[in-house]
C-alpha cells in the first residue's frame, strides 16, 4: 500500500492538450474516484498512473518513487479493465495466477494466492472454467481476482461496471467497496457515473476538459460545489440553475424573484442554484405551473415552470397536481448556491 501523488501532470497528443496540469494527492489506503463526462481525460490520467500512456510533463509518484519512466510491471499496480481483458485461452485460475507466474513465484505460492483470492471473491468453483463460460458478473470478479492476487500497492479500476446491467452494477459496487474495506489498498477508480462516484469514494476528483474542477468528499461536493460544472454534474436529478442578477436581498431571474439567504454581499449578474429536494411545497411560496408529475412512490418528482425557467422539484409528499395546474414552492434558503456569472465560481 502506498500513497499516490500527481504533480502538474500534463498530456498532449500532437497539438491537442488532453490534460492541463493535474495535481492530486491520494493518501495511503484511500478510495479515490475520478469522475467526469466522457472525453474529460479521466481514463487517460488513470492509464498514465498505470504506465500505459506516457507522461508528457509533470511527475507521478507511487510511494516515494517517481514512476514516470517505469514499465507498468515495475510500478506495483494492478488494473481492472472496462472489458475485463481476461485472456480467452486461459482458465480462470491461470488468468488469476498469470502475473505471479511472470514474477517468478513458485507453483505452490501461485496456487495458494489464487485460492486465497478465489475464496474472497467466491470464485473457487469456477477456477477450471474459461472466460467465455462465465457470466458478466463472474468475469468481473475474475478480473478483480487477478488484480488482488499480487497484493499490489495500488488498484486501478477503469469503468469496471459499465458493461453490467443496472441491478448487477449495484451488487458489484457493494462488493468492490467491501473488498477495499477488507484489503485497505489505495484505489483509483474511474467512472462517468456520478452515483457510482458518490456511493464508493472516500474522495471524488471531478474532472472536466482536462482539468480538475473540484476534489472532496462526496457530500462535500454535493453540499458545497465549488463551481457551476460540479453543481450541475453531481446530483440526480441535476441541480436547478437559474441565471439572473443579485439585487440586495433578492435574486431577479426571468419572470420570477427568488429570496436570498442572509449575508450575501455580492451584487450583479450571477447564477442561482437550488437542488430539487430543496424546494418545499408552501401556500405562501412562488407559483409554478406543473408540466410533468412523476410519482416514484417514496417521493414525487415534478417538472414545472417557475417564471420563465423550467425547474425540477422532488417532494417527500405526494403531489396530486395535474399538468397545467399551479403549485406553490419555496426554496430552502440555507441550501441556495450562488455562482459568479462569468467565472462560474461559487460566491456564497
Partner 1 sequence: MTDHSAAPNQKRPFWTIARKDAAAGFLFIAPQTLGIITFVLVPLGLVFYYSMHEWNVLASTFTFVGDANYQMLLRDPNLPPVLLASAIFSAGLVVLNLSLALLLAVLLDQKLKGIVVFRTLFFSPVVVSLVAWTIVWSFLLQANGGINGILAVFGIEGPNWLRTPTTAMISVVVVQVFKNVGLNMILFLAALQGVPKELYEAARVDGASPFKQFRRITLPMISPTILLTSIITIVGSLQVFAQIAILTKGGPGVSTTVLVYYLYQQAFQFNFFGYGSTLSILLFLIVAVLTFIQWQMRKRIVFYEN
Partner 2 sequence: MRTDLSPRLRVALYGLMCVLLIPFVFPTWWMITSSVKPISDIFAFPPDLWPRRFDFSTYQRVFELQPFARQYWNSAYIAAIVTAGTMVVSSMAGYAFARIKFPFSNAIFMIVLLGLLIPSEVTIVPLFQMFLGWGMINTHWPLILVPIFGAPSVFATFVMRQFFIALPGELEEAARVDGLGRFKIFWTIALPLAKPALGAVAIFTFLHSWNLYLEPIVFLSSTQMFTLPQALTQFTDAYGGAMWNIQLAAATMTAIPVLLVFIVAQKQFVEGLAHTGLKG
Beta-carbon contacts of residue 220 (< 8 Å; ≥ 6 apart): none
Q: Is the Cβ of residue 1 or residue 90 nearer to partner 2 in the bound state?
A: 90
Q: How far is CA 274 from the centre of its chain?
A: 21
Of the candidates 80, 92, 52, the residue with the CA atom closest to the CA atom of residue 143: 80
**344 binding partner 1? (CB under 8 A):** no
Among partner 1, partner 2, none, the one that 212 touches (CB under a kind-dependent 5 to 8 A) is none
Among partner 2, partner 1, none, the one that 246 touches (CB under a kind-dependent 5 to 8 A) is none
CB of 18 to partner 2, least distance (A): 17
Among partner 2, partner 1, none, the one that 7 touches (CB under a kind-dependent 5 to 8 A) is partner 1
Cβ contact 35:191 at 8 Å: yes
Residue 82's H or E segment, with its range, is: none
- Angle between helix axes 136-148 and 107-121 (nearest 10 degrees) is 130
Site of grid cell 485460475: 93
- Residue ranges that bind partner 2, judged by CB under 8 A: 47, 50-52, 71-73, 77-79, 81-89, 98-99, 102-103, 146
Q: How far is CA 178 from the centre of its chain?
A: 17
CB of 284 to partner 2, least distance (A): 58
Among partner 1, partner 2, none, the one that 189 touches (CB under a kind-dependent 5 to 8 A) is none
**237 binding partner 1? (CB under 8 A):** no
In the region spanning residues 53 to 72, those forming contacts with partner 1, defined by CB under 8 A, are: 54, 57-59, 66, 68-69, 71
Of the candidates 288, 280, 293, the residue with the CA atom closest to the CA atom of residue 256: 288
Q: How far is CA 187 from CA 196, 203, 241, in A?
A: 14, 11, 33
In the region spanning residues 2 to 31, those forming contacts with partner 1, defined by CB under 8 A, are: 7-8, 10, 21
CB of 70 to partner 1, least distance (A): 8
Q: Dig out the grid coordinates for 16 from the structure.
A: 491537442
List interacting residues with partner 1 (CB under 8 A). 7-8, 10, 21, 51, 54, 57-59, 66, 68-69, 71
Amino acid at each position: 500500500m502506498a500513497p499516490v501523488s500527481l504533480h502538474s501532470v500534463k498530456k498532449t497528443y500532437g497539438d491537442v492538450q488532453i490534460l492541463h496540469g493535474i495535481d492530486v494527492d491520494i493518501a495511503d489506503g484511500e478510495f479515490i474516484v475520478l469522475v467526469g463526462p466522457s472525453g474529460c481525460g479521466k481514463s487517460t490520467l488513470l492509464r498514465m498512473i498505470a504506465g500505459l500512456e506516457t507522461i508528457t510533463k509533470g511527475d507521478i509518484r507511487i510511494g516515494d518513487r517517481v514512476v514516470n519512466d517505469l514499465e507498468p510491471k515495475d510500478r506495483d499496480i494492478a488494473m481492472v479493465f472496462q472489458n475485463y481483458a481476461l485472456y480467452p485461452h486461459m482458465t480462470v485460475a491461470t488468468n488469476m495466477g498469470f502475473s505471479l507466474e511472470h514474477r517468478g513465484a513458485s507453483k505452490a505460492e501461485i496456487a495458494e494466492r489464487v485460492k486465497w483470492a478465489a475464496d474472497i471473491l467466491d470464485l473457487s468453483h469456477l477456477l477450471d472454467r474459461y472466460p467465455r463460460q462465465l457470466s458478466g458478473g463472474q468475469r468481473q470478479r475474475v478480473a478483480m481476482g487477478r488484480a488482488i492476487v499480487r497484493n499490489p500497492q495500488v488498484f486501478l479500476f477503469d469503468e469496471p461496471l459499465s458493461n453490467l446491467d443496472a441491478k448487477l452494477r449495484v451488487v458489484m459496487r457493494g462488493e468492490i467497496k467491501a473488498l477495499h474495506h477488507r484489503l485497505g489498498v489505495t484505489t483509483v477508480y474511474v467512472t462517468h457515473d456520478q452515483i457510482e462516484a458518490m456511493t464508493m469514494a472516500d474522495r471524488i476528483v471531478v474532472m472536466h476538459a482536462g482539468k480538475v474542477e473540484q476534489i472532496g468528499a462526496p457530500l462535500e461536493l454535493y453540499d458545497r460545489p465549488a463551481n457551476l460544472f460540479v453543481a450541475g454534474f453531481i446530483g440526480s436529478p441535476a441541480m436547478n440553475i437559474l441565471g439572473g442578477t443579485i439585487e440586495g436581498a433578492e435574486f431577479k431571474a426571468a419572470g420570477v424573484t427568488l429570496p436570498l439567504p442572509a449575508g450575501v454581499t455580492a451584487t450583479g449578474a450571477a447564477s442561482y442554484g437550488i437542488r430539487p429536494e430543496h424546494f418545499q411545497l408552501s401556500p405562501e411560496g412562488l407559483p409554478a405551473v406543473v408540466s410533468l408529475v412523476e410519482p416514484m412512490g417514496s417521493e414525487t418528482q415534478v417538472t414545472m415552470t417557475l417564471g420563465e425557467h423550467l425547474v425540477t422539484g422532488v417532494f417527500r409528499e405526494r403531489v396530486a397536481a395535474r399538468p397545467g395546474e399551479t403549485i406553490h414552492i419555496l426554496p430552502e434558503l440555507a441550501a441556495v448556491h450562488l455562482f459568479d456569472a462569468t467565472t462560474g465560481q461559487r460566491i456564497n
